[in-house]
Amino acid sequence: METTEKGILIQEGGSVYEGDFVNGEPHGKGKLTIPTGDVYEGDWVDGKMYGKGKISLADGSVYEGDIVNGEPHGKGKFFLADGSVYEGDFLNNKVHGKGKLTFATGSVYEGDWVKGIWHGKGKWIPIGGSVYEGDYVDGEGNGKGKMTWADGVVYEGDFIDGNANGKGKMTYPDGKIQEGNWKDGEFLG
């Protein structure tokens, strides 16, 4: 038979757990404070942080969302100390899957992530009104994409390292079109 109780557990090293116990193990709702100043508040299963929770780090960053084996895993929201906010998927404590990062400056990236890096399909909106939508490889615009600048100029085509490279078409607000080969953002013809 299970016995449920509330209590406090002071662990070796100075960490303190306050909350629910079942058969002597943290289980249910609880709070763990470690000497570095980091705090976890949320669900516990068989002595492990597991379920929904909030991790507050000493640097001021805060994660709220799904926790598996003490790490962000699943859906969550991460508020960085600099004011930036990421909301989306996590895998083993890394941003991975679909998500949106809003920088403190107001710039936004929304799209695919692989192990913390922009990779796959995405949309980058830096401050100033420009927009890039397309393929990303290792954090850079690589592959097919469309760049629209704030002044109305639009480039659609191939990108390498965030620049027009390969086949593409540049359309200007006055109707002028340059279509053909590009290298490092320069029209070759």
Q: pLDDT of 38-92, one tens digit each?
A: 999 999 999 999 999 999 999 999 999 999 999 999 999 999 999 999 999 999 9
What's the whole-model pTM score? 0.89
Whether the Cβ atoms of residue 42 and residue 51 lie closer than 8 Å to each other: yes
According to the model, what pLDDT value does residue 1 have?
A: 47
Report yes or no on 18 lying in a domain.
Answer: no
Report yes or no on 141 lying in a domain.
Answer: yes
Could you tell me what percent of the chain has a pLDDT over 90?
89
Report yes or no on 185 lying in a domain.
Answer: yes
Longest Cα–Cα distance of the chain, Å, equals 80
Distance of alpha carbon 115 from the chain centroid:
9
How many domains does the chain divide into? 1
Q: What is the pLDDT of residues 77-86, one digit of tens each?
A: 999 999 999 9
- Domain range enclosing 110: 105-189
The two three-digit tokens of residue 122, written as one number: 């995405």
Whether the Cβ atoms of residue 91 and residue 76 lie closer than 8 Å to each other: no
- What's at 95, amino acid-wise? V
Burial 153-163 (b: 16+ CB within 10 A, else e): eebbbbbbebb
Report yes or no on 113 lying in a domain.
Answer: yes
Spatial distance between the Cα atoms of 45 and 50, rounded to a whole number of angstroms: 6
